[in-house]
Structure 1
């Protein structure tokens, strides 16, 4: 399959939320990997396995940040439904929560 994004290909040591805080940030992953890929197509499977661990700020900035950057809720909900993690399946509902929180925040500011 050529529609799989492996986060370990970005870094096996995912870093902080923002680029100015350190290497392999969630902001960098979102800007350099997720957003360009989502502009190509919206049926990506994201494999979360093979890294040393994730900080919540990396995950929130990567996935919730896509909503703040204009990716539609339906696309991001589809991405969340195709997340894969055998190493730590609890990451999937955590990421779903970040996406849903970002959707709610965006809806509040657009009213």
Structure 2
């Protein structure tokens, strides 16, 4: 589910929150052929949010920041996170846009750095 936090006023930023646990309460394996609530499904879900928010070419609504709230699940496998976030680079989401994501994870703070590594690693492969 995506929640707008602020409304847009002249020149202000809008933050949208994606609460992962509402759509993926039990994050699963990397690929959907291996089980439900996969990283592959999460990647498709996030790609739709990015395109709905920033347009198909990812250049619109630069005043919107996405916050991904990872709290509220039993945990995340590294394959789920790599496919879900590193996979967005492979799908063409710009590095700058992914780098601007805000990651909320009070329950497992180390996940923010792990996700950043997956994004950075995939970006380096493409460069």
Normalising by structure 2, we get a TM-score of 0.79
Structure with greater helix share of residues: 1
Considering only CA atoms, is the larger Rg found in Structure 1 or Structure 2?
2
Q: CA RMSD in A?
A: 1.0
Structure 2: state its 5+ residue gaps.
Answer: 5-15, 55-64
Q: How does 1:15-26 map to 2 (within 5 A)?
A: 15-26=28-39
Quick check: 1:34 aligned with 2:56? no
In structure 2, C-alpha distance between the alignment counterparts of 1:7 and 1:20, rounded to whole Å: 20
Aligned residues: 104
In structure 2, C-alpha distance between the alignment counterparts of 1:92 and 1:24, rounded to whole Å: 20
Q: How does 1:64-103 map to 2 (within 5 A)?
A: 64-79=86-101, 82-103=102-123
Normalising by structure 1, we get a TM-score of 0.90
Structure with greater strand share of residues: 2
Q: Which runs of 4+ in 1 moved over 6 A?
A: none
1:81-102 deviations in whole A, cap 9, x for unaligned?
A: x100100100000000000000
